[in-house]
Amino acid sequence: MSDLTKRVKENFKDSIISGAPLPMLPQDIAILAAFTFMKAVVAYDAIPNVEPFFPRAVRERFRQSLAIPPNVQMWIAAYQGTQRYSGRCIAGVSAAAFGPYEGTEFLAFTYVVGHLVLQLLSPRWKDVRNRTRVLPVHVPLPHWNPAVISFWPDTGFPGSWPPPKYIGDDTIEQFIDRFKGKIMGSRTVIF
C-alpha cells in the first residue's frame, strides 16, 4: 500500500497541489485505478461492524497483483474549491430494491486530495448465492460528463486531465452524492 501511495505522490504531485495538466497514459491510468481501488477497500473496511464489501479472495488477488475486479467503474474530476488543501474520503453502499438493479448493492467511494477527485462505483449481489450471475453496469446520468473523465475500465485511449469543467465548493457534495437515489430502488447508505 505504501509503495502504491508513493508512486501516486511522485507521478501526480503537481496535479494534486497545483492542478497541473496530466496526460492520462496507460501507466498513469493503471496507477490511479489501483490507488483508487485500494483507498475504497481500506475506507469501507474501516467502518466498524460492517462486513467488507469485496470478498477476501478479491482483496488478496489485488494485494498480490493489483488486479481490479470486473464491473468496477472509476472517474477522475478536478476540484477548484476552497478546501483543496485538505483531503476527503467518503464510502457508502446503496441497495437497489426494484428495477434493473434489484438484488444488488453498489459501493460508491469518493476521494478528494488537493485538486484531484477520484470516484469509484462497484456492484455486488446482496445474496451470495447470486454472486456467479452477471452484474449490471450502472450508467451515470450525463449531467456530470463535462466535469468527469471515466478512466476505468481502461479504454486504451490516452486522454488528459483536467476535464473542461471543474467541481467547486457549490457542487462537490452533489458530486459525492451523485449515485444516491440514482440507482433505482431504496437505499441504505453507510458512512
Mean pLDDT to the nearest integer, 108-133: 89
Rounded CA gap, 27 and 16, in Å? 17
Q: Which residue has the higher pLDDT, 48 or 117?
A: 117
CA distances to 7, 64, 116, 148, 160 from 20, in Å: 17, 32, 10, 16, 11
Arithmetic mean of pLDDT over the chain: 85
**pLDDT grade for 94, boundaries at 50, 70 and 90:** confident
**Model confidence pLDDT, tens digit, residues 150-175:** 999 987 777 889 999 999 999 998 99
**pLDDT grade for 138, boundaries at 50, 70 and 90:** confident
Q: What is the pLDDT of residue 129?
A: 84
Q: What is the dihedral of CA 183, 184, 187, 189, to 10 degrees?
A: 0
Mean pLDDT to the nearest integer, 53-58: 92
Q: Which residue in 134, 139, 151 sits closest to 184, CA to CA? A: 139
DSSP-derived secondary structure letter, 86: S
Rounded CA gap, 153 and 150, in Å? 8
Mean pLDDT to the nearest integer, 6-29: 92
Q: 17 with 11: CB under 8 angstroms?
A: no
Amino acid letter, residue 127? D
